[in-house]
Chains A and B, each alone.
Chain A
Amino acid sequence: MRSRPLFPTDGKKQRISFRHLLAFTCNPSYSRFMHSLRQIFALLFVWGIGLACAGAADKIRVSSFSTVLTEIAQKIGGDRVEVTGHIKPGIDPHEFEPKASDIRTVTNADLVLLSAKHMEGYVAKLKDSIGTKGHVVEVGDQKMQSLKLVDRSEHEVEDPHWWHSPRNLIIATKVVRDELTKISPADKALFAANATAYINRLEVLDDWVRAKVSELPRDKRKLVTNHDAFGYFARDYGFTVMPISGVAKNDQPGSKNVAELIAKIKASGVKAVFSEDVANPKVVQEITRETGAKFGGELLSDGLGTGEAATVEGMFKHNVKTIVDALK
């Protein structure tokens, strides 16, 4: 085998052959050199592992069971938190059940955020799994006024869709800020500043929604959707909700209810009927056919969406533009 020249010296080409290498590696200075190199690599490795562990340990681990709360925790905690969002956009939170991997993550969390108002039917199971390790906060049950809904068994229940009100989102932001501060009092100023900035954005968003909704006269603010999820939105912005079905998206309306709703829509002259991101649109199609109202578009009812609707601001803008433009 011919060796390859490394670099030219004195006009002659210097070659390193296998023999040269063997001689070099048998030299005692080579052993010392390799020993030092190994020590440096070992030190670097230990230092890197230490840094990684310190970083992970430093961060507050947050487990969130709401896409909206995931955003709030990230905005308030910034670099000081590591948020795991167990519910991803497009997943129906009414039907979600935590898997073993979710439980494992929650077990190691410092803070667990739940939407509450009976949205999560698995709360007891979750609390049993994590014992006293993490702190579970049912955000929707903190200082937020509840609206009532009638479920499929004709019982009055709390409306769990509180995030459709910026007023409630501000309360949730303050709850998350206070909980993070309890865990890391040293970061109080950071969390307070982040929360203030986020609340300012929510107030600007509220003004935007009011301006957009004002394009509709109040007698035209009638919202027909196939899931009773916009009660808080309706309360804040003067809409009347005419739901096709109940609390959860898979609640099926009875034929009598559909007939009554069709009569109401005809009487009130509602221009458009809306469906939701992951709901079955069949009933909506039937209603549009019977009433002559058009299909207004899809709304995001149970949390954040994807693309431009992947943020709270984006979700609001998508919903409000869809509703107002269709009902005009």
Chain B
Amino acid sequence: MRGSPLQRAIFTFLILLGLAPLLWQMTKPAPAAVPVAAAASAGPMKLPLALAFTTAPKRISVTYADKLVWQKDAPESREECELELVWPAEGGDLLFKVEWAEDAPLSAMRARLTLPSGSELERSLWGTGGVEKVLGFP
């Protein structure tokens, strides 16, 4: 490069100055990702729930925060539904009440809940007759 050292320094500085907006765009901190669950916790949302039973029960109900959110009499051995509830970032606990026939054998239920983040969590319970159990997600 020709010219005095001072000229070269000024030339380099001007080039960098011209590139500054581009460099700023490339290096600026990305906006903090808002957790889906936290963002969604402001209002009610619909969470898909899939249930599978080894023996179809007589009745099932799901309660969240002391409110009945879904129930069905004589459900099939596989059921799908959507729970409409306010789901905090911390997760939640669902109270399942399953009523199998008195003469039914030891039976089980598997519950798969899709969280606001899109991840799916599975929990299960088992018993005979009437079973009341809290399942936590996560």
Binding site for B on A (CB under 8 A): 207, 210-211, 213-219, 238, 328
Contacts and interface: CB of A to CB of B under 8 A. Distances in A.
A217 B134 contact: no
Contacts of B63: 214
Contacts of A218: 88, 90-93
Contacts of A214: 63-66, 93-95, 134
Interface in B10-60: 41
Interface string B81-112: 00000101111111100000000000000000
Q: Which 4 interchain pairs have the tightest Cβ spacing?
A: A219-B88, A218-B90, A215-B66, A210-B134
A219 B89 contact: yes
B14 to A, nearest CB: 50
A210 to B, nearest CB: 4
A207 B133 contact: yes
Given A207-B134, A214-B64, 9 more contacts: A210-B133, A210-B134, A213-B134, A215-B66, A217-B64, A217-B92, A218-B90, A218-B91, A218-B92
Interface of B is mostly: strand
B130 interface: no
A238 B133 CA distance: 16
Contacts of A211: 95, 132, 134
B118 interface: no
A238 B65 contact: no
Contact of B136 (A215, A238, A328): A238
A213 B136 CA distance: 11
Contacts of A328: 66
Nearest to A240: B90
Contacts of B66: 214-215, 328
Given A210-B134, A211-B134, A219 B90 contact: yes
